[in-house]
Structure 1
Amino acid sequence: MSAVGDAGYPAGRTGGHDEPAHGLLGSFGAALRLLVGWFSILIGVLNLLVEIDRGGAGDGAYLAFHVMLVIGGVLMIMFPSLGAGAGVAGYCAGGAVLAGGMILSGVRAFDAACCMTAYADRHGYPFSFAASDAGRWHLGGQHLLADLLFWGYAGLIVLVAVACVRRAVRRHDREPG
């Protein structure tokens, strides 16, 4: 046991040298989550600062994407404390936002100033990841990954909101009254 007690480990698990608290796979997952979270914050803040420095209105979809990167990165870093207790409902709601956002933005054509401007019909938000011109379709892999990240972070926001509501309901149910 460490100087701070069991430091939030599950009951019966100390995280000491005799018994690892997470194991190698859990540690790899936590490190990957932290790297993605910090990288998202870094890229989001840097690109928002560049937009502010440039002046002007900027592209709304571009700004929304980078604001979502910052928010999603913070949630990724804080996920063990904020997302705890989301349950099946939280994960289903987050997954529904991810899938629904990709499907709905892929079906509807958006006017995007930044992406695939040579094509007449563009699909996707915040970036056009599919486009067609005269019946020939084109798929932008990088834009598709960026949209997946955007809608994944939107789903993460919903997951954390469900976890917070579930914790509040459990706390309310335990109160004597």
Structure 2
Amino acid sequence: MSAERDDGWPSIPTVTRVMAGWFLFGVGLLDLVTGVDGVVYVTFHVAVTLGGMVLLALHRIRPGRAGWITAALVTVAGLATGLLVDTSRCCLADHPQRRGFPFPFLGLGDGIHADPRYLGADLVFWACAGLVTLVLVRFVEKQMPERRTPVDLTGYVGRHSEAHAYSAQHRADENVGGLT
């Protein structure tokens, strides 16, 4: 699949991916430079910065199906496991139980109260964490031996042009082996 259309302009998904990548990278890096407010703050903004970098370099990474599946699983599993922990950190202070990581977005104990802003922030965090795992899976895939069946070339005999190309190499005035 090409990132450009037939007329030379980039496709809409490519432009959207690059814009989102620059946005995430810029916001994450700017927030890291302007101040640090605890481990959760740093973790969130490092993940957002790395997620933006992955989106910008996605055309070079060329992830496979296993990478995309792993990224989706990390996103969903991270959001779900964040609901298991009861925290007293920021956000939704009016509710006795607060759940979600890195930001509590679900208040329990006196009914169910969800904050869509913090849910969106958690979703962005876990999606960026999934993008980082996509890179890790691709790195592991590159380290694995090739999966194609090796071809035995011991019985191969050159037929048409191979023999002529080798005999024409002695000609100093021809640079392509007799094909001028």
The alignment's TM-score, normalised by the length of structure 2, stands at 0.73
The alignment's TM-score, normalised by the length of structure 1, stands at 0.74
1:75 and 2:50 matched: no
Offset at 1:130? 0.3
Output the CA distance in 2 between the equivalents of 1:117 and 1:64: 22
Give the counterpart letter for 1:99 in structure 2: V
Offset at 1:142? 0.7
Q: 2:43 aligns with which of 49, 52, 64?
A: 64
1:108 and 2:85 matched: yes
Aligned to 1:138: 113
Aligned to 2:20: 36
Give the counterpart letter for 2:54 in structure 1: L
Offset at 1:110? 2.3
Offset at 1:174? 9.6
Greater RCO, 1 or 2 (C-alpha within 8 Å, sep 6+): 1
Aligned to 2:29: 45
Q: Percentage identity across aligned positions?
A: 27
Give per-residue Cα distances to partners, 1:20-59, cap 9 Å, x unaligned: 47x7xx711111111111111111121112215xxxxx23
Aligned to 2:93: 117
Give the counterpart letter for 1:60 in structure 2: V
Aligned to 2:71: 94
1:161 and 2:136 matched: yes
Give the counterpart letter for 2:86 in structure 1: A
Output the CA distance in 2 between the equivalents of 1:95 and 1:79: 16
Output the CA distance in 1 between the equivalents of 2:46 and 2:88: 20
Offset at 1:161? 1.2
Output the CA distance in 2 between the equivalents of 1:174 and 1:117: 60
Q: Which structure's CA Rg is the greater one?
A: 2
The 3 A distance-change label for structure 1 pair 39 and 165 is same
Give the counterpart letter for 2:82 in structure 1: S
Structure 2: unaligned runs, 5 residues or longer: 151-180
> What SS does structure 1 have at the residue aligned with 2:107?
strand
Give the counterpart letter for 2:57 in structure 1: M
Give the counterpart letter for 1:97 in structure 2: V
> Is the helix fraction higher in 1 or 2?
1
> What SS does structure 2 have at the residue aligned with 1:29?
helix
Offset at 1:88? 2.1
Offset at 1:108? 2.1
